[in-house]
């Protein structure tokens, strides 16, 4: 492996592809040996990677897991254009050029008692990273993960053995990895998948929140990543229930290191509205600052 170079907290690495697995719906799981990125990655971090040596334009990818000791990071992506199509053809043993880790992560300390993690589509990976961080660092904190998808989930769905109040009967589909960690999860879709809630992630989240008493709700906070319409709905739900909420935005990026300002969003700051770059000022923001409640 070539020696990586660094610039402040960002690192340029030639990461070795260790695993590459295909799932239904043009989805792919990838494990990369990227020790510098793995050593600094936090929930909400992403990388900017070169899909093919003939394509100079990079693609941003959320980090799903990171092992500092073994030096690997996990990614989950869906092909949706020429670049990711080329990425899907990469084979184990190849080197992939990447810059990382990038971005402002989720808050990763002083968790409230009951974090509610909501991921949709390609917004699922940051929720897995955050759930694992909570498991490893925060004793007596009890996260609940809700994930939604309109294509088959990129894992073998498992009936959950972890029961929760407020979940409709028959909604038992879960992610095996989270189940193994002892973290309850439930899946939602409009595709009538077995065991999944037939509706939106916010609908299922509301079922659960409505089952909580007033004192317990005060101990809930929301973390979310997914498509913009979903994040708007999650932000509004958080406002309606009076809950703190952080969201990780999905935006197209060119440089991903703050130079081009091509990924700016309007953010409401204490001193007034301001344009912020999703790549380096985010991707994580307070939900109400980017999606003001109705």
Give per-residue pLDDT as tens, 168-193: 999 999 999 999 999 999 999 999 99
User: Cα–Cα distance between 127 and 234 in angstroms, integer?
Assistant: 14
Which position has the token pair 């990924």? 263
User: Cα–Cα distance between 290 and 282 in angstroms, integer?
Assistant: 11
Give per-residue pLDDT as tens, 237-282: 999 999 999 999 987 778 877 888 788 899 988 888 889 999 889 8
Give per-residue pLDDT as tens, 4-61: 443 456 889 999 999 999 999 999 999 999 999 999 999 999 999 999 988 888 999 9
- What is the percent of the chain where pLDDT is above 90? 83
Domains defined along the chain, listed by start: 5-102 (2.40.30.10), 114-290 (3.40.50.80)
The string of DSSP letters for the chain reads -PPPEEETTEEEEEEEEEEEEEETTTEEEEEEE-HHHHHH--TT-EEEE-S-TT--S-EEEE--EEETTTTEEEEEEE--SHHHHHHTT--TT-EEEEEEEESB----SS--SEEEEEEEGGGHHHHHHHHHHHHHH-TT---EEEEE-SS--SS--EE-S---TTPPTT--EE-HHHHHTT--EEEEESS--TTSEES-HHHHHHHHHHTS-HHHHTTEEEEEES-HHHHHHHHHHHHHHT-EEEEE-----SSSSSSS-TTEEEEEETTEEEEEETTTT-BEEEHHHHS---
Strand partners for 189? 198
User: Cα–Cα distance between 227 and 207 in angstroms, integer?
Assistant: 21
Give per-residue pLDDT as tens, 75-132: 999 998 999 999 999 999 999 999 999 999 999 889 999 999 999 998 999 999 999 9
């Amino acid at each position: 492996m070539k020696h990586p170079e660094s610039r402040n907290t960002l690192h340029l690495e030639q990461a070795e592809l260790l695993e590459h697995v295909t799932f239904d719906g043009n989805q792919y799981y990838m494990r990369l040996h990227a020790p510098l990125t793995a050593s600094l990655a936090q929930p909400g971090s992403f990388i900017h990677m070169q899909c093919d040596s003939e394509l100079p334009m990079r693609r941003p990818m959320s980090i799903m897991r990171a092992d500092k000791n073994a030096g690997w990071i996990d990614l989950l992506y869906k092909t949706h254009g020429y670049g990711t199509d080329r990425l899907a053809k990469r084979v184990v043993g190849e080197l992939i050029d990447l810059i990382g880790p990038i971005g402002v992560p989720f808050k990763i300390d002083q968790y409230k008692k009951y974090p509610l993690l909501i991921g949709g589509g390609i917004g699922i990976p940051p929720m897995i990273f955050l759930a694992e961080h909570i498991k490893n660092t925060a004793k007596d904190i009890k996260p609940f993960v809700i994930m939604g998808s309109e294509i088959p989930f990129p894992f073998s769905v498992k009936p959950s053995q972890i029961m929760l109040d407020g979940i409709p009967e028959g909604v038992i589909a879960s992610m095996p990895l989270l189940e193994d960690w002892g973290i309850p999860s439930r899946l939602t879709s409009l595709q009538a998948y077995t065991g999944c809630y037939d509706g939106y992630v916010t609908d299922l989240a509301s079922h659960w929140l409505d089952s909580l008493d007033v004192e317990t709700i005060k101990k809930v906070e929301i973390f979310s990543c997914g498509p913009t319409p979903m994040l708007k709905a999650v932000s509004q739900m958080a406002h309606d229930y009076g809950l703190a909420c952080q969201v990780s935005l999905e935006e197209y990026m060119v440089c991903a290191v703050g130079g081009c300002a091509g990924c700016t969003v309007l953010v409401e700051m204490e001193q007034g509205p301001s344009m912020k770059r999703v790549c380096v000022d985010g991707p994580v923001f307070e939900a109400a600052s980017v999606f003001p409640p109705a």
